[in-house]
Amino acid sequence: MNISKKVLQKLTMLMLVGMAFTVLLPLTANAYFAVHFNYNSTNQEVSGQVYTKDWNKVHVKITADDHSVTELRYSDGTSLSEFFYGYDDNNNIYKSLGFSKLNIASAPSSIQVSNDNGQNWLFTEKNENNYNGFFDDENVKLNGYRISATESYSSISESTATYVSPNTELFRFTPANDTLNNISHTDNLIALSFDFGADNLLNWSKLTGSDFVLKNTTNNSVISISGIRPAKDNQYNPYTATWTSKDSTRELIIETQTKLLLGNNYALVTSSLMDGNEIKRLSAGKYDLSLSIGSIVNNFDTDLNADTYYVKADNYHAFNQVTVVNQVPPTGPSTGGTPTVPEIVTDPPVIDSNASEVLSSGFYYYSSNQKLGGNIYTKDPNKLRVKITAKNNSITEVTSSSAQFFGTVYDDNNIMYKNVVFNGIPVAEAPLSIQVSENDGIDWISFTSTDNNFTYRNQNEKVRLGAYRISATQKYSSVSANTYVPANTELFRFTPADDTVNNILHTHNLNSIKIDFGADNSLNWGNITISDIILMDVTDNNRIIGLAGFTSERNNTFPDWVNPNLTRTMVIETQSYLVRNHEYVIKTSDSAQGNEIKLPPAGQYNLSLYVGLLFNNVVTVQATTNLHKFDNVTISDPTPPTPSTPPTGSFSFPATPPAVTTGSNGVTLTLGPDSVKTETNSDGKQNVTLSLNNDDLKNAFEALKNNQSASQTIIVNVDKKGDSTKVELPAGLLAESIKSSPETVISVKTDSGSFDLPIQSIDFEALAKKLGTDIAKLKLSISLNAPTSEQEKSVRLKAEAQGLSIINVLDFSVTAEAGGKTEEITSFGSTYVPRTIAITGQTDIKKLMAVIINSESGELQFIPAIQKNSNEIVIMAPHASLYAIAERKDKSFSDIQKHWAKSDIELLASRLLVNGTSADNFSPDKDVTRAEFTTLIARALGLEMVKTGTKFTDVSAKSYYAKAVEAAVLAGIVQGRSDTLFAPNATITREEMYVMVARAVAFAGKKIEISGKQKQLLDTFTDNSRISSWAQAAVAQSAEANIIRREANTQLKPQANATRADAVSSLKRLLEYVKFIN
């Protein structure tokens, strides 16, 4: 079969869309070389970056459509910018060079780059207006500056002891600078992370900061550790521009209170306080361990993973292939074996065992430059040979060692194939024949010749090459032919996966899904909106995944090179990367109208689902893609109803009990339709009510008891969408369960938010007494309500007056009901109850904050909250009320521009926590009064401002601080100067301030452990003798928590008056320590 010249040229020059970089060898020896350029048609500019260690030898050649050539050189300094990029294992420095060239009338036909002054060139692959290239012949690993380090962790094997013992050294290291290039890397070393080399080694339910001691062995001092944390999943590596998955039980991050010093030797040792059940030892084998020293930063794109972080390595050491051996030979027969590789569930066609191993392929002879190019897909490139016979019968043989690129694809059985590309083989004239062997020349396949085309067509070929196949199911075909998919209907389920056989990662940048529905005219784009589709993470308790975009695919699709019908394929872009081994569901939403997706006429169809990286509206088919093909899916006509015989007598179907599933997050209840009631109120808003009975909760508590998960949470998933959601629970069973399961949390999750209620925060006995009933007759209700029209209008007007923009508003309430009476529970005492509000719409998430709406004034006020990801904000409050997500504006004052507390003041002012003394001034050095600081700390903790019945005669009920004083006194944070006097206008000393701060930390539920360290902590202050005895413990706790800002590094000045700047700085550090802001 003859293949057109155009198609063959594409086959010979392209590997895989989005990944295909054609490289012309040989390049500079020992080279790592990456290139990315883009053409901007608006301003007719070509710009891009070149990553290399040979930056002074870089040339860029831009060829226009008219064959004119523009060459840019590093040595000319033409349109050039450069910055540091990273180091390899030999501490060779790599840079990123930025080039730009204006006045390019149209997108260039090609861009080539050389890193050896034009002797050899790397040809970039053009995709739309993007030009990419990559070459690495020695597996270069870029990271921080390599330093001297040793590790002792791997030296003791699992057979000696299961866990690391107290007083055991883990590793040593010495911070260093790049003296060769005169670059400092030790200016801000305040964190280190250690990758222990394997998962499931760190027991985070036991680990605390007191389990470690960081010693400076150069000056025999101990470095204070401010905190430890696990590495988060899906971390961005800025040196390789890739996302890698980090198991939280593998990597330890340690933050220090002071900077580490250049040239000093440090040792991390487990402390004597360690219990010996925190860090598991490695079993026998080989492992890659690593140490990074630098500072903690958010991931490269916080819109994708705002709750993740890593240690940006200024210094780095890799312990590669560390061998761990058993110290004591095991006795008895071995119980080990070869690990089982998870089965990949696919629907593959049977492959003919007699079919040739050589797949259909082709070569093309370029007479203009007398070179031959082509590509072959093969399982084993090492046995591949190509025989080229010239017209004079001379023979040239080439092997895969002469090939320029290996791309990776898979067949339906996930057998891996390499795409071997031969490009630029010098041949004086078109060959007489071409033959290929895949078994080192034992058998040969002859190619058919037509003009300059040489093709081979395997007639027995049943291999379908593509992305890595994953497990998936579809329910799309359960809908009848020629009808539309209804609302709230599941379409597909899939689970992203990696190639565990060949140890290839495929799931580090999956942010889009492409669905081919198998027939044209399936999608009515006039009716489809992004709100019509829901993507849920089933593994993560049916968490709704935010969608960033929604479109049809608009580009030619490789390998068929056909323009897909826009009514057949759907592309969904996610706001965050999908997680490997998590099960996801794609379904139509409750708000879908049922006129968006239509099934074709009855028959059999081939559907497919790709999960990959979105690029120019194309889900790229590359090695980082997952795929499932649904072959010969039967779409059927509606089945006519079967006449039924009327039942005799009365009969009722039993209520469907809720489905109970267990997982790492606890127990999840999914209620049947008979437990859900939907009503529409006079405003046209839908109210959804879910009712659980005693049996439902008993089953949940029993499942929780049997679940091995550390999370004692019963999750009630509300799949039904409504403006308001109410979950009713039998209070009697909850009260009874406090005795056996006091740590249980009832978590209500909806698409607009969630509420996590600890059952021991409710005084059921007091509620029953108020309502004049028995506890067994109480019904507890948790409600998440959309605001009324009047409420929302009022909130938005107040926000506008305060210079804020409202994103979402949600009212949280907890009530007890019995005998027609209702009691609202507005306070949970000292228990901070987390609740979330979903982020909706397009906005700058970095400027979002949560606020509470003051029930009396309607003003928007600060409330403790952290942003965990791009989809929701978590509010921490000991009460229930009306809350909102708002976009804050930056706030500053003219008298703080050169002040040391400028950033802290601006941060808390923009979050509505502190105000200036006027519109333009803050007066940072003015003494703060007892009333002012008490008000600030009450607001910072989100205390419920109750109606005052204050006992202090000098606190007027009409004063702005009256309620704050009452709340802070009730919380145990502050006391009066006497039983009747508070002295609101008196100043406070710095040590008094730290006493209040330490009490605030305790009220927030955090414990600052200073056992055996109080004297050591206080001795760091040269004026510690002036600290009053009653304040010493609080000052030591504040120092341990890094809340104290030191005067001249060594002085506390405990008797000096605290200033407004001191107050703001302490509050900001307090809030960060208890994780009430981020």
Element (H, E) at 38: strand 32-40
CA 29 to chain centre: 38
**In the predicted structure, residue 665 carries a pLDDT above the cut 60:** yes
Return the structure tokens found at 880: 């229930």
CA triple 439-443-447, angle to 5 deg: 105
Residue 494 is predicted with a pLDDT of 94
Above 90 in pLDDT, residue 1073? yes
Q: Residue 846: helix, strand or coil by DSSP?
A: helix
| DSSP output for 929-950 | BHHHHHHHHHHHTT---PPP--
SS3 readout for 772-826: CCCHHHCEEEEEEECCCHHHHHHHHHHHHHCCCEEEEEEEEEEEEEECCEEEEEC
Domain with CATH 2.60.40 in the chain: 1-14+343-465, 31-136, 468-635
Amino acid, res. 161: A
Give the per-residue pLDDT at 77. Answer: 60
Inter-axis angle of helices 1060-1073 and 930-940, to 10 degrees?
Answer: 20
Task: Please report how the helices 1060-1073 and 902-910 are oriented relative to each other, as an axis angle in degrees rounded to 10.
Answer: 70
At 569 the pLDDT is: 86
User: For residue 809, what are the β-bridge partners?
Assistant: 884
pLDDT confidence of 457, banded at 50, 70, 90? low
pLDDT, one tens digit per residue, over 533-569 is 999 999 888 888 988 777 765 443 433 334 445 688 8
Q: Residue count of the chain, please give it.
A: 1078
What is the dihedral angle through the alpha carbons of 572, 577, 582, 586, rounded to the nearest 10 degrees?
Answer: -10
Over residues 815-845, the pLDDT tens digits come to: 999 888 889 988 888 889 999 998 876 667 7
The token pair at 223 is 């470095």
Q: What span, in angstroms and rounded, lies between the C-alpha atoms of 58 and 113?
A: 7
Exposure on the CB side of residue 537, measured as CA atoms within 13 A:
17
pLDDT at 525: 81
Please compute the mean of the pLDDT values over residues 354-373 and round it to a whole number: 71
**Among the listed ranges 237-246, 387-396, 730-739, 785-794, which one has the minimum average pLDDT value?**
237-246
Place of tokens 């081939």: 606
**So what's the pLDDT on residue 352?**
31
0.85 surpassed by pTM? no
pLDDT in tens, 252-263: 889 888 889 989
Which of 348-352, 714-718, 765-769, 882-886 comes out lowest in average pLDDT? 348-352
In which element (H, E) is residue 993 found? helix 990-1003
Indicate the fold that domain 31-136 takes in CATH. Answer: Immunoglobulin-like (2.60.40)
Q: Return the structure tokens found at 587.
A: 């379904």
Cα–Cα distance list, 403 to 385, 400, 715, 752 (Å) = 11, 5, 56, 54
pLDDT digit string, tens, across residues 401-449: 777 655 678 888 888 888 888 877 888 888 989 998 888 888 888 888 8
- The average pLDDT across 861-865 equals 92
Beta pairing class for 445-446 and 122-123: unpaired
Q: What is the mean pLDDT of the chain?
A: 79
889 CB neighbour count, 10 Å cutoff: 11
Query: Encoding tokens for residue 690?
Result: 């879910």
Q: List CB contacts of 232: < 8 A, sequence separation 6 or more.
A: 246, 248, 305, 307, 308, 309, 310
| Torsions phi, psi for 548 (to 5 deg) | -95, -25
The string of pLDDT tens digits covering residues 784-798 is 988 888 888 888 888
First to last CA, the chain: 64
Is it the case that residue 1060 has pLDDT exceeding 50?
yes
Tokens standing for residue 267: 């040792």
Q: What are phi and psi of 896, to 5 degrees?
A: -120, 5
Q: Per the structure block, which two tokens stand in for 1075?
A: 């994780």
- pLDDT digits over 1022-1032, tens only? 888 999 999 99
CA distances from 1036 to 272, 329, 933 (A): 21, 49, 20
Residue 798 · residue 854 · CB < 8 Å? no
* Residue owning tokens 């053409």: 39
- What pLDDT is attached to residue 156? 62
**What pLDDT is recorded for position 1018?**
92
Q: Which range, 10-24, 116-130, 237-251, 688-702, has the best average confidence (pLDDT)? A: 688-702
Cα distances from 1014 to residues 271, 692, 1028, 1059, in angstroms, run 17, 51, 14, 26
CA dihedral for 555, 557, 563, 569, sign (positive or negative): negative
**Could you tell me the CA-to-CA distances from 533 to 492, 564, 614, 837, 902 in Å, in that order?**
12, 21, 18, 20, 45
CA quadruple 1054, 1055, 1058, 1059: dihedral, nearest 10: -110
Q: What angle do CA 417, 421, 427 make, to 5 degrees?
A: 145
Exposed/middle/buried for 679, CB within 10 Å: 0-12, 13-18, 19+?
Answer: exposed
For position 310, what pLDDT does the model report?
74
Whether residue 355 is predicted with pLDDT greater than 80 in this model: the reply is: no
Pairwise CA distance, residues 112 & 123, whole Å: 5
pLDDT tens-digit series, residues 627-663 = 889 999 999 987 665 554 444 443 334 455 667 787 7
Q: Is the pLDDT of residue 327 over 50?
A: no
- Closest by CA position to 808, among listed 786, 791, 782: 786
Buried b / exposed e along 466-505 (16+ C-beta atoms within 10 A): bbbbbbbebebbebebeebbebbbbbbbbbbbbbeeeeee
Q: What is the pLDDT of residue 308?
A: 57
Closest CA to 420 of 457, 469, 383: 383
* Choice among 152-156, 834-838, 905-909 with the minimum mean pLDDT: 152-156
Are 727 and 696 within 8 A, CB to CB? no
Taking residues 690-717, what's their average pLDDT?
82
DSSP 3-state of 674:
helix
Predicted confidence (pLDDT) at residue 191 exceeds the cutoff of 60: yes
Percentage of the chain beyond pLDDT 90 is 23
Q: What is the pLDDT of residue 997?
A: 94
Crossing angle between the packed helical segments 990-1003 and 1060-1073, to the nearest 10 degrees: 20
| Better-predicted residue by pLDDT, 129 or 905 | 905
DSSP code, position 930: H
Across residues 1003-1015, what is the average pLDDT?
Answer: 89
Q: 468-635 domain in CATH 1.10.10?
A: no
Widest CA span in the chain: 114
Tens of pLDDT along 944-987?
887 656 788 899 888 889 999 999 998 899 998 888 899 999 99
Task: Please report which confidence band the pLDDT of residue 332 belongs to, taking 50, 70 and 90 as the band edges.
Answer: very low
Q: d(Cα 35, Cα 115) in Å, to the nearest integer?
A: 11
What is the per-residue pLDDT for 991?
93
pLDDT reading at 82 higher than 70: no
DSSP state of 1030: G
Give the integer Cα–Cα distance in Å for 1035 and 1015. Answer: 11
Residue pair 974/936 in contact (Cβ under 8 Å)? The answer is: no
Q: What are the two backbone dihedrals, phi and then psi, of residue 930, each rounded to the nearest 5 degrees?
A: -60, -40
- Is domain 1-14+343-465 given the CATH code 3.40.50 in the classification? no
Of the two residues 758 and 129, the one the predictor is more confident about is 758
The structure tokens listed for 711 are 């999370």
